[in-house]
Structure 1
Amino acid sequence: MDDRTRAYVRGRFGDYYRGTVSAPEFGDTGGVVDPRAPDDREWAYVVFSGGMVRHKSLLDLGSLDGWLADTKPQHVYYSSARYDRPEASAMSDKGWKGADLIFDLDADHLRDAEPDDTYAEMLAKCKDALLNLLSFVEGDLGFEDTLVVFSGGRGYHIHVYDDRVQSLGSDARREIVDYVKGTGFRAEHAFSSETVAGSDRNEWMHGRKSSTQLQRLRGGAWSERIRDWLVGYANEVASMEDDEAVEHLRGYDNVGEKKADKLLEVFRDRREEIGSGNLDVARGARGFWETLLLRAVEETSAETDEPVTTDTRRLIRLPGSLHGGTGFRVVPLGRGELDGFDPLRDAVVFSNREQTVVADEAVEFEVGGRRFNTEAGEFSVPEYAAIFGMLRGDLRLR
C-alpha cells in the first residue's frame, strides 16, 4: 500500500472510531464492544505503518473510544486472559487469573474448503461450520454465557465466559477440542457390552481423562448425533434403485454382492433398530459398521483451530473494531441474528459514495452484495469496495 492510500484508509478508520462513519444502506454498524473485565486484559494493536504494539492495559491507553479515534489502528486485540498486571512485558509477571474459552473458525481451514471457492462461498461454508460447532458448545457442553463474533475476515469466533472455563489449563481445553472433533473415537466401542459408569457429561472438564466415557456410541450426546447420521444414511441408501444401492454398498471394503443385498434389506426394513443403536441387525458386517461409524464421526464432528482454543493467553479481535485486511466490522452477533447474517453486506461500514481508484492488474471481488470485475486502469467504485480492495493490495488511490 503506498503512503497516500495508507493515509486515506487510516483516516477513514479514524472516522469510524469517532462515530462519524455510517452506512445506512447496510444497516446499523454499531461501535466497539467492551470485553468483560477490560481493565484486567492485555491490549494490543497493529499500526498502519506496520508492527504490533502489545502489553498495554486500559490504564496505558486511556479512554478506549478516544484512544481508537486518535491512534486509528489497523487491527485491535485484547487478551482472552485476565491478569493482575496486564501491562507487564514478561508473561510470567502478568499474574494470570483465568481466561475465557475461545473457539476460532477460519474458512480456509475447513475440511470441505475448495481452492476455487469464492469469498462468499467460503464464508457460507464457515457459517454452516459455526452452527454445527454451536450445537456442541451450547448443546453437548451446556455453555450458556457465550458470544458469537464474525471475525471481519474469513471466519467466526465463539467466546465462552462461563465461570467453569476460567481456570482451565491447556490440557483441559485440549480435551474440549478432542470432544468436539471426535478425536480418539474408537468404532469397536459400539460393539462393547461394558457399562460406562457416570453420567455427568461435563466431568471431563475438571481435567480427568474420560474420552472413553464421552465418545462411546452408547450413551451421551455423541450417541444421538451418530445415530441420527446413521438413520439419515440408511434413508439415503434405501431411496436408491436396487442396482444403484448394491453398487454403492459394494464400494466398501469386504462388501460383496450378497452382503450388499443384506445391508440394503436392513436399511429399508430395520431403520428404527439402527436409530436405537442396534448394530447387530446385519450380522457378519462389523467391518462395514465400523467404517460407517468413523465416517459418521468425521462428518458430524465440529471444527475449531486447536491452538486458539487451547491457548490460555490468546489475543483475540475486539468486537466492533475494524478488520485491517478487509475494512469490515468485527460483528458481535446475537443467537437469533445468525441465520440472516450476510457478512459481505452486514459487516460493511463504509459508504456507497463513489471513489476513484487505480488497479495495476485486473481485479475481481465480491462485497456489499455486488461483484466487481474490472480490467487494469482507473475507475470508480463505492467507497466500501475501494477500501476493501486497498487493504487487499489490489487498488490504490488515483
Structure 2
Amino acid sequence: MSEYVKALFQAYYRQAPVDALVPKDIAKREFGFVIPGKKGMIRHQAFLEPKDYKGFLVQNTPVHAYHSATLYNSPWKDRMDLKDYTGCDLIFDIDCDHINTPCKKDHDTWTCKECSKQGTGKVPEKCPKCGGNKFDDRTWLCDSCLDKAKMETRKLIDNFLTRDFGLPLDAMAIYFSGQRGYHVHLERDDFRKMSTDARREMADYITSTGLSLASIGFLGKATTNIMGFTIKDPGWAGQISRGLFDLIEMLSAGKASTSIKERELELLKANKDRLKKRLLEHDTNWSFAGIGPGIWNHIIEGIVEDVRCDIDVPVTIDIHRLIRAPATLHGKTGLVNCKLTRDQLDPFDPFTDAVVFKGNAEKIKMLADVPRFRIEDKTYGPYKKDDIDTVAIGAAVFLMCKNMCEVLK
C-alpha cells in the first residue's frame, strides 16, 4: 500500500462512525488483519470495546480487515481448540469470480508460467500450447460482473431464503463485499447452532446439488400423460414451475434461456399460451404433442440451471470462517463494505455508492495496461502502460489498490 493510499484509508477510519464499523457480538469474535509492512495475516485479535477496535483500525490502517463468523468465549487464544466455540453465523457468499459471465472474455487474462502463452477469459485446466497447469491470471471488475452477482443475491434472498425457508427479511444482514460480490449473514441463535452437515444440506438445496427429478415427482420415462408441477408447489417443484413460467414470459418477449437448446425452446414457444394458462390455473397436465418425457427432462434441467443460486459453498459450511468486516475498506479496490437492506439492494451501484474518496482530481501514470472501468458516472480507459491521465481521486485509488498506477506530483 502506497503512503498516499494509506493516508486516505487512515483518514476514512478516523471519521467513520464506530457503530457502522462494529459487528454484532464484537467481544466474542476473532479478528484478522492484513497490515502494510507486516507479513501475512495478523490473526487471533480480539476487542472487548468498540472504541478499541476503531482505534486499532486508525492506528494500523489495514489493507484488509476480517472478523470471524464464529463466536467464541476466548477469541484471542491462538489455538482453535482453546477458543471455546459457541456458535457460528450462517454466511452466504456470492462472488462473481465463481460465476461464468461472458464479460470475463473481454477483461480477464491468463499467462502460462511454462511457455508464456496468453489467453483471455477463464483460466484453462491445461495450457493449450504446452500442457502446463501453472498460470498467472488477472481478473477485473465491470458492471456486468457485479450485476450478475446482484442478480444471484436477489435469487438467494427472494427465491430461497424468504420463499422456501420462510425467513423474514429482518433475519438477514446484506453486505456488498467491497470488491466482487455480496454476503448475506444469518445471525439468529438457531442458525448459529447449525452443524456443518446441516449447513451443507442447505447449501446443496440452494445450488441444486444432488437434485433428482424423480424424487420430486417427475417421471423421466415414457408415459401417456406427463404430470408436472404447479407454481404453488413447495420446494424445487415450485421453483421449477415458476422458472418455467418466467421462461414462457421471456419467450413471449423475444428473449431466450442459454441453458436450453434452441429446438426445445421452439417447442415451448409453439405451446406457450396453453402452457401459461395451465400454470396459472395450477393444472399439472404438461402433455403436449412433440414434447415427450425426454425433452421435458432436458427443459427442466435447463430451468434448474437458471434457477439455482451460485453461492460459494465452502464459505457457507465452514464454521471457522473469517468474513470481511463491515464498513471497512477493501485493499484491492478502495471501495467500502456496505450494509444494505433488501430495498436498497436493487438500486445499489457499487461503482458509485461504495466510493468513499471523492472530490479531488489526480494526475496519474499507468504502471500496466488497464482495461476499461467506471467510477461514479465516468468511464476511464482502456490505458496502455506509461499512459498519463487526470482522473477523479476514487478512480486513482481504485487503480493504486491494484498497483496499476502512481500519482504524479
Under a length normalisation based on structure 1, what TM-score does the superposition of the two structures give?
Answer: 0.79
Q: Secondary structure at 2:278's aligned position in 1?
A: helix
Q: Could you say which residue in structure 2 is the equivalent of 1:133?
A: 156
From the two aligned structures, give the one with the greater helix fraction. 1
* Aligned-pair CA distance for 1:113: 4.9
Q: Could you say which residue in structure 2 is the equivalent of 1:371?
A: 379
Q: Could you say which residue in structure 1 is the equivalent of 2:71?
A: 82
Q: Which 5+ residue runs of structure 2 have no aligned equivalent?
A: 108-140, 220-228, 255-259
Give the counterpart of 1:389 among 388, 396, 399.
399
CA 1:390–1:250 in structure 2 vs 1: closer, same or farther (change >3 Å)?
closer
Q: Could you say which residue in structure 1 is the equivalent of 2:80?
A: 91
Q: Could you say which residue in structure 2 is the equivalent of 1:152?
A: 178
Give the counterpart of 1:290 among 276, 284, 297.
297
Give the counterpart of 1:272 among 271, 277, 281.
277
Give the counterpart of 2:205 among 157, 163, 179.
179
Does the 8 A contact of 2:362 with 2:391 survive in 1? yes
Code of the residue aligned with 2:13 in structure 1: it is Y
Q: Could you say which residue in structure 1 is the equivalent of 2:390?
A: 380
* Aligned-pair CA distance for 1:274: 4.5
* Aligned-pair CA distance for 1:265: 6.1
CA 1:386–1:303 in structure 2 vs 1: closer, same or farther (change >3 Å)?
same
Structure 1 segment 1-398 matched on structure 2, within 5 A: 6-19=2-15, 32-49=20-37, 50-59=39-48, 63-115=52-104, 116=106, 119-135=142-158, 136-144=160-168, 145-189=171-215, 191=217, 219-234=233-248, 251-252=263-264, 266-274=271-279, 276=282, 278-282=284-288, 285-363=292-370, 364-373=372-381, 374-375=383-384, 376-398=386-408
Code of the residue aligned with 1:52 in structure 2: it is M
Code of the residue aligned with 1:19 in structure 2: it is Q
- CA distance in 2 between counterparts of 1:371 and 1:30 reads 33
- Equivalenced residues, count: 351
Q: Which moved more, 1:354-363 or 1:100-109?
A: 354-363
Code of the residue aligned with 1:109 in structure 2: it is H
CA 1:53–1:231 in structure 2 vs 1: closer, same or farther (change >3 Å)?
same
Does the 8 A contact of 2:216 with 2:237 survive in 1? no
Code of the residue aligned with 2:245 in structure 1: it is V
Q: Could you say which residue in structure 2 is the equivalent of 1:24?
A: none
* Aligned-pair CA distance for 1:182: 1.6
Q: Could you say which residue in structure 1 is the equivalent of 2:122?
A: none
Identity of aligned residues (%): 29
CA 1:130–1:285 in structure 2 vs 1: closer, same or farther (change >3 Å)?
same
- More relative contact order in 1 or in 2 (CA 8 Å, sep 6+)? 1
Q: Deviation per CA, 1:221-241, whole angstroms, max 9, x where unpaired?
A: 43222112223434556788x
* Aligned-pair CA distance for 1:250: 7.8
- CA distance in 1 between counterparts of 2:45 and 2:154 reads 34
- CA distance in 2 between counterparts of 1:319 and 1:82 reads 16
Q: Deviation per CA, 1:352-395, whole angstroms, max 9, x where unpaired?
A: 21223222344343212211224524443222111111111110
Q: Deviation per CA, 1:177-236, whole angstroms, max 9, x where unpaired?
A: 11111222212345469xxxxxxxxxxxxxxxxxxxxx9999414322211222343455
CA 1:58–1:277 in structure 2 vs 1: closer, same or farther (change >3 Å)?
farther
* Aligned-pair CA distance for 1:249: 7.8
Code of the residue aligned with 1:348 in structure 2: it is V
CA 1:264–1:158 in structure 2 vs 1: closer, same or farther (change >3 Å)?
closer
Code of the residue aligned with 1:383 in structure 2: it is I
Does the 8 A contact of 1:32 with 1:318 survive in 2? no
Code of the residue aligned with 1:344 in structure 2: it is F
- CA distance in 1 between counterparts of 2:35 and 2:175 reads 22
Q: Secondary structure at 1:58's aligned position in 2?
A: coil
Q: Which 5+ residue runs of structure 1 have no aligned equivalent?
A: 21-28, 194-214, 241-247
CA 1:236–1:346 in structure 2 vs 1: closer, same or farther (change >3 Å)?
closer
Q: Which moved more, 1:228-237 or 1:152-161?
A: 228-237
CA 1:234–1:143 in structure 2 vs 1: closer, same or farther (change >3 Å)?
closer
Q: Which runs of 4+ in 1 moved over 4 A?
A: 59-62, 190-193, 215-218, 234-240, 263-266
